Amino acid sequence: MKNIISILAFVIFALTIFGVDANNGRSLKRCRNDLRRVQTKVNVLEKKANKCPVVFGPSDVAFIKNLPQDYCSIFRKGGSKQGELGQANGQQIFTGICSNTPQGEIPKVENMPSTLITFPENGAKIKIGCPFKVQVHSTNIEFGFFSDPVFTYNAFPQALNDKGQIKGHQHVTIQFLGDKKNKNPPNAQIFNFFKGLNDKSNNGKLETLVDVGLPKVGLYRICTILSSFSHQSVVLVCTCTKYLLDFCI
C-alpha cells in the first residue's frame, strides 16, 4: 500500500509541475481536477485494503471474521516456528510443508461422495503374478479433474460443479497385510500398487489394471482415495455428531 501511495504521490507531483509550467494548454483548474481524481483512487484502494486485511499467523479473529490468513508466516524468517516447515510451492515435498491454500467449496451433506470397490470382491483369490483389474463405483463426484502433480500439488482450493458435487479424481492403492493373524496397520509408505485415476466418467465407474499382479501369497487390502482437483483429500461436512446426539438422546 505504501508503494502505491508513493507512486501516486509522484504522479500528483508531476501533474502539478506540468499543469503550472508546461505550455501545453492545460489550465491550473484542470490540473486540480486531475489531482482530485487521483486522490479519489487512492481513497478507494485504502478502503479495499482496510476491508480485507491479511492476518499473519494463527488467529481466532481471522477464523471468526473469515479473513484471509497467512498461517505459514510462523515458519518463515522471524516467525515463532522459523525453519520448522517449508512453504508449499506446488511440488510434492516429502520433508513437510505449510500450505496457505484455503479448503475451498464444501458440498452439502446430500452431496457427500461415496465409493464402493466392485472388483475384486471381498475375499477373492488372485493368482500370484497375474494381471487383474480393480473396479470402483462412486457417487456424488465429477471425475476427470486432475492437476499437474509436479507443479500444482495442493495448490488450488476444492471446487464444486453446477450440481454442487466435488470436481476431482480417484486413487487406488494395494498393500500387503501378511496373514489373517496380523492385527497391525500397514506402513503407509509401503504399497504394492498405487494409481491415480484421472479419467472422466458419466456413471461414476472407473477401473485400472494391476499389470504385474501381486508378488507373493498372503492377505492384501485394496483402498481408494477420493481427491479434489489438486490432489488433497476431499473436504466434507460430517454428520456423525448429529447422529451421535440423536442416539444419546
Which one is predicted more confidently, 216 or 28? 216
Domain finish residue from 98, 118, 153: 98
Would 241 be classed as within a structural domain?
no
Instruction: Examine the pLDDT at 209 and tell me if it is beyond 60.
Output: yes
Handedness of CA 86, 90, 191, 184 (dihedral sign): positive
Pairing assessment for the beta strands 141-143 and 205-210 based on DSSP bridges = unpaired
Task: Name the more confident of 22 and 60.
Answer: 60
What integer is the mean pLDDT of 6-22? 42
Q: Is residue 236 in a domain?
A: no
Please identify which residue in the block is written with the cell numbers 457427500: 112
Residues 115 and 183 in one domain: yes
Nearest to 233 by CA among 141, 154, 143: 154
Q: Is pLDDT above 80 for 147?
A: yes
Do both 66 and 169 map to the same domain? no
Residues 44 and 59 placed together within one structural domain of the fold: no
Q: Comparing 16 with 172, which gets the higher pLDDT?
A: 172
Average pLDDT score, the chain:
82
Domain assignment present for residue 242? The answer is: no
Whether 137 and 161 share a structural domain: yes
Nearest of 228, 101, 105 to residue 167 by alpha carbon:
228
- How many beta carbons lie within 10 A of that of residue 41, not counting itself? 12
Report the C-alpha gap between 247 and 240 in whole angstroms.
11
Label residue 66 by pLDDT band (50, 70, 90): confident
Residues 6+ apart with CB under 8 A from 243: none
Q: Are 179 and 217 contained in the same domain?
A: yes
Same domain, 119 and 185: yes
- Residue 7, pLDDT > 60, answer no
CA distance 170 to 196: 6
Tell me the backbone φ, ψ of residue 56, rounded to 5 degrees: -95, 130
Domain co-membership, 113 together with 224: yes
Q: Do the Cβ atoms of 168 and 226 come closer than 8 Å?
A: yes
DSSP code for 139? E
Helices and strands of the chain, counted as H and E runs: 4, 11
Lowest mean pLDDT among 1-15, 57-71, 85-99, 183-197: 1-15
Distance separating alpha carbons of residues 22 and 157, to the nearest angstrom: 53
The SS3 of residue 226 is strand
For 101-113, write each residue's pLDDT tens digit: 999 999 999 999 9
Same domain, 39 and 114: no
243 lies in some domain: no
Mean pLDDT over 156-160 rounds to 95
Confidence of residue 186 (pLDDT cuts 50, 70, 90): very high
- The Cα–Cα gap between 85 and 96 comes to 6
**Between residues 34 and 194, the one the model is more confident about:** 194
Q: What is the pLDDT of residues 28-37, one digit of tens each?
A: 566 566 556 6
Owning domain of residue 154: 109-228
Residue 143 lies in a domain: yes
Higher-confidence residue of 84 and 2: namely 84
Question: Considering the domain boundaries, does residue 94 fall inside one?
Answer: yes
Q: CB neighbours of 74 closer than 8 A, spacing ≥ 6?
A: 57, 58, 80, 81, 82
In a domain, 103, yes or no: no
Total of domains in the chain: 3
Q: Residue 150 sits in a domain of what CATH number?
A: 2.60.40
Same-domain pairing of 84 and 168: no
Q: Are 115 and 160 found together in one domain?
A: yes
List, in order, residues 6 or more apart from 103 with CB less than 8 Å away: 157, 158, 235
Joined together, the cell numbers standing for residue 245 give 446426539
Q: 160 and 83, same structural domain?
A: no
Please report whether residue 246 resides in a domain: no
Q: What share of the chain is helix, strand, coil (3-state, %, to 5)?
A: 25, 25, 50
Tell me the whole-structure pTM to 2 decimals: 0.72
Q: Are residues 65 and 163 in the same domain?
A: no
What integer is the mean pLDDT of 89-106? 93
